[in-house]
Amino acid sequence: MAVKAVYNGVRMSPRKVDIVAALVRGRSVADAITILDHTPRRAALAVKKAVTSAGANAEHNHNYKPDSLFISEISVTAGIRYRRYRAAARGRARRFARQTSQIRVLVDGDKRTIKKPVAKRESSETKE
């Protein structure tokens, strides 16, 4: 079962973010973080944040092995648009929209084996 992390409200165009997301699609989480560290685009920071979050969710919340994690799916969709105005000729104002993105990362891997706790033995000293 895949573990999900969603990063909403990224203040960048989905087209620009999707270019960076395509670089790490299908790779291991460790490789993806290394690639994103060396990618000279502003969107790399947002994608790295989402991938790191998905890896941490899998490791801490769902008991996956950190070395076996890989990105099974990464998708970028359009978020809400902020409506703004810009000055135009002859004292008018033109409307434009600032785009936002939503990054959804699914991570999968091998689960850790759960060890049963060892039962405590009562020593002869505590019985007396």
- Provide mean pLDDT across the span 21-49: 97
pLDDT given for residue 125 in this prediction: 63
Q: What is the CATH number of the domain that holds 95?
A: 3.90.470.10
pLDDT digits (tens, 9 = 90+) for 77-125: 999 999 999 999 999 999 999 999 999 999 999 998 877 787 777 766 6
pTM, to two decimals: 0.83
Asked if 24 contacts 71 with a C-beta cutoff of 8 angstroms, the reply is yes
Burial of 88 (0-12, 13-18, 19+ CB in 10 A): exposed
Compute how many other C-beta atoms are within 10 angstroms of the C-beta atom of residue 74.
25
pLDDT given for residue 22 in this prediction: 97
- Provide mean pLDDT across the span 41-56: 97
Confidence of residue 127 (pLDDT cuts 50, 70, 90): low
Residue that wins the pLDDT comparison between 128 and 60: 60
* Overall number of domains in the chain: 1
Q: What region does 90 belong to: left with phi over 0, alpha with psi -120 to 50, or beta?
A: left
pLDDT digits (tens, 9 = 90+) for 2-25: 999 999 999 999 999 999 999 999
Structural domain harbouring 91 = 3-127
